[in-house]
Structure 1
Amino acid sequence: MITLLIGVGLALNLAMLATLLLAPARLNSDFLAFWSFPRFIAANPAARIYDAAALSAFQQRLYPGFHSFYPYLYPPTLLLALCWLKLLAFKPAELLWTALGGLALAAGTRAMFPTRPWAVLAGLLACPAALICAATGETAFFTTALLLAGFACLPKRPALAGVWFGLLTLKPQLGVLIPVFLLARGEWRAIFSACGTALLLNGLSCLVLPANLWALWWHTLPAYQSSYFNAAKALNLNIIVTPAANLVVLGVRESLAWAAQALCGLAMLALTAWAARRAPYRLAVAMTLIATFLAQPHAYAYDSIAVIAALALALEARPHGAIVTLGVVSFLAPLLLLSPGAHWFLYAPLLAACLTAILALALAARKSADSLHEPDSVLPPAAT
């Protein structure tokens, strides 16, 4: 059943993606935002990148007919990674961006799943989250690749793992639990490497761009987050898959949603620390990937490609039917966002169910390992 699901999904996604990429440039593509950012700082003082009104007006002049809201929500370092986009027209840049993302995801998948990389890659590319990512021109192929490469390298090449984790600071919320995971395991080489990589990126951004961009980012980010939640009736918040956003969609007051998000974040910190120290490594990685989406307040459905990778790790453990069922539902659920039933897409409860099922697998594996190492004193005396 899973093979058939992946085959049908992959064929559908590839057909829809080819249609989208070969069609005329789309006005409401997230990639337009990434394409516009380096052009904006080339034509304006860089500090104005965090001025939503100025950026929106520039995007509308750059791309007549565009009237969406795509502010710059990212740290200044991402501008370094996007600078090459100003060298290409929109359509060639979009095609190259998509191709590079696919290659990065293939490399990360090959590193994490060396015995069956193409089967897992097919599953990742076949999921609706991947279609949404490719159709909008988002960053999830790259971020998932960095997560997979980092966790794949960590056991044997921790310094290289730290480089991949350090690069993930370009979109830092997706690595929010990585420091906890590394500290719990005492992975100091990876920690120093990740810090060095992040500091190098930050220092380079301060050399190329005004240093005060960092202060502007920290100042504007909470306001942007609040504006999203306050616009729940005007924006489709269902595409945000975190507990706080799901609660706001259900009508919970923003203050209560933030309180619940904070409590959930603390629980995920504790669970990640336990998994890193006590669970089998690949199940610990699976738990951390899913817990990341429950610990942070701002992640989108297209970012959840990493969740499918986590479920692929769980399926290696010969799980019971609940994991398979939850995996299939999690795989298909983002399709609701492409349907009239988009308002029914609430992903956080499903993530919590998947995490609970994988935790049960980890506990069972831990119990089995402990039973194999019981001291001789607990064994019955040998017959004489």
Structure 2
Amino acid sequence: MDETPPARLPLPSPLTWIVGSLIVMTLFILDYRASDHGMIGLSEMWGRDFANVWTGGKLALTGQLDLLYDVDRYRGFEHALYGTAGVHNYSYPPIALFLDIPFALMPYGMALASWLVGTGLLFALAARSWLPDGRAHWLLLLTPAATMNIWAGHYGFLIGALFLAGWHWLPHRPRWAGLCFGLMVLKPHVAVLVPIILLLRGDWRTIATAALTVGLLVLASVLAFGSELWTQYLTVTAGVQARMIDPGQEFYGLMSTSLASALLRQHVPAALAYGLQGMAMAGVAIGVTVAAVRGTPPATLALLAATGTFVLLPYAFNYDLTVVMLAALVAYGRPDASPLEKGIALIAFVTPQWGMLASAIGIPLTPIALISLFAVQLRGQIRSGRGVPADAGAVRSA
């Protein structure tokens, strides 16, 4: 089941890349026009959600972690820190503070630049095995999801890098793969399919290493910051994030990838919205199970799992679709892809941004595009029984 990657993977035209990022270009222009000394109006800082990384580090350095998961007091601290009136909340587990603290030691602008450049570099390097054509992997920093992640200052590059590195190392360095997957506990919901697939494949060394990594990180955070933060994270913060599944008419709802969120935004009854979300989840579970038990190579499973994750999750956003962009490019470039499949891949490629506009006018484009892309990937895998990248057909790590 081994297949050598093509010497040149066909990529969409430059116009597709430009059109795909027109929305975020507009957002950057609007932010620039409203900015003053690093602030965007009275509500945000440049880098937007990166402010949470910097704020979390500041709270740790000043010994005020009792504010971290208290939404009102946390916002009050941010308002005093930045002079803004934003509505952030800290939604990450306490282990993220180990990452936050080094950035909080820098001035905000330097920290933001270091965050985007550093995580972007890691992501591009982790993607090299999937885009073997020269330096094409650097183009992944310009996909619609990537530019949205840059605008939002989010974790899309970092989590994407850990995800891709884990799957790349799985066949030959299972413990390194487990370390990468364990570190994804920074945003644990994005790794929801990883342990399921590893169990189906019997990758026991990787599973053990990932579990040990998570356990050690949790223990270290308890010793460093206390156990109460974990209690607050698992109760207060989990509830805050769960309520965001129903976005109402808030702007962040336009960025959601969730089928349930898209339907609830259009006032579809909750029972129907969650029922359809459940059907999508079941479809993904069946699809990845079939792929895993058929012995699909890790590199192919990685892209299938990336798309499936955002079909399955009722809570997720477009700036995390960095690996899904790679999945869309590989699906588009398959030599046996039909014109319809290429079209679906292109729509999925631009949907991180154009899905926002579609949602604003009542069309749930993002979840439909992701479901369609997952179906194309699964059909391609079943049709060929072979993976695209070079490590296809590698042995399991058991």
Once the two structures are overlaid, the 10-residue window that deviates more, 158-167 or 308-317, is 308-317
CA–CA separation in structure 2 for the residues paired with 1:270 and 1:358: 14
The CA deviation string for residues 188-213 of structure 1, in whole angstroms up to 9 with x for no partner, is 11111111111111111111111121
113, 129, 147: which one pairs with 1:95?
A: 113
Matches within 5 A, 1:1-384: 2-5=12-15, 8=18, 24-27=37-40, 28=44, 29-64=48-83, 66-110=84-128, 112-113=129-130, 115-116=132-133, 118-122=135-139, 124-278=140-294, 280-281=296-297, 282-315=299-332, 317-318=334-335, 319-336=337-354, 342-343=360-361, 344=363, 346-366=365-385
Against the structure 1 CA distance between its residues 69 and 256, is the aligned structure 2 distance closer, same or farther, given a 3 Å change threshold?
Answer: farther
Task: Look up the match of 1:382.
Answer: none
Cα deviation for residue 103 of structure 1 reads: 0.9
Greater RCO, CA 8 A, separation 6+: 2
The CA deviation string for residues 81-108 of structure 1, in whole angstroms up to 9 with x for no partner, is 1111211111111111111011111221
Gaps of 5+ in 1: 368-384
Greater than 6 Å deviation, 4+ residue runs: 9-21
Q: Give the structure with the higher percent helix.
A: 1
CA RMSD, Structure 1 to Structure 2 (Å): 2.9
Cα deviation for residue 187 of structure 1 reads: 0.6
The CA deviation string for residues 262-312 of structure 1, in whole angstroms up to 9 with x for no partner, is 443333223212211216323332221111001222211111111111223
Count of equivalent residues: 364
Note if contact 2:95-2:186 (Cα within 8 Å) is conserved in structure 1: yes
Cα deviation for residue 241 of structure 1 reads: 0.5
Cα deviation for residue 54 of structure 1 reads: 0.4
Note if contact 2:304-2:377 (Cα within 8 Å) is conserved in structure 1: yes
Note if contact 1:37-1:49 (Cα within 8 Å) is conserved in structure 2: yes
CA–CA separation in structure 1 for the residues paired with 2:75 and 2:320: 24
Against the structure 1 CA distance between its residues 215 and 255, is the aligned structure 2 distance closer, same or farther, given a 3 Å change threshold?
Answer: farther
CA–CA separation in structure 2 for the residues paired with 1:161 and 1:16: 38
CA–CA separation in structure 1 for the residues paired with 2:290 and 2:265: 31
Note if contact 1:322-1:357 (Cα within 8 Å) is conserved in structure 2: no
CA–CA separation in structure 2 for the residues paired with 1:158 and 1:366: 23
CA–CA separation in structure 1 for the residues paired with 2:308 and 2:348: 14
| One-letter amino acid of the structure 1 residue matched with residue 97 of structure 2 | L
CA–CA separation in structure 1 for the residues paired with 2:341 and 2:59: 46
CA–CA separation in structure 1 for the residues paired with 2:184 and 2:355: 27
| One-letter amino acid of the structure 2 residue matched with residue 194 of structure 1 | A
| One-letter amino acid of the structure 1 residue matched with residue 265 of structure 2 | V
Cα deviation for residue 255 of structure 1 reads: 4.7
Question: 3-state SS of the aligned residue for 1:2?
Answer: coil
Question: 3-state SS of the aligned residue for 2:135?
Answer: helix
Cα deviation for residue 14 of structure 1 reads: 11
Note if contact 2:358-2:364 (Cα within 8 Å) is conserved in structure 1: no
Against the structure 1 CA distance between its residues 83 and 307, is the aligned structure 2 distance closer, same or farther, given a 3 Å change threshold?
Answer: same
Once the two structures are overlaid, the 10-residue window that deviates more, 316-325 or 194-203, is 316-325
Cα deviation for residue 68 of structure 1 reads: 1.7
CA–CA separation in structure 2 for the residues paired with 1:11 and 1:223: 33
Q: Percent identity?
A: 25
Against the structure 1 CA distance between its residues 251 and 217, is the aligned structure 2 distance closer, same or farther, given a 3 Å change threshold?
Answer: same
| One-letter amino acid of the structure 2 residue matched with residue 197 of structure 1 | T
Gaps of 5+ in 2: 1-10, 387-398
Note if contact 1:286-1:314 (Cα within 8 Å) is conserved in structure 2: no
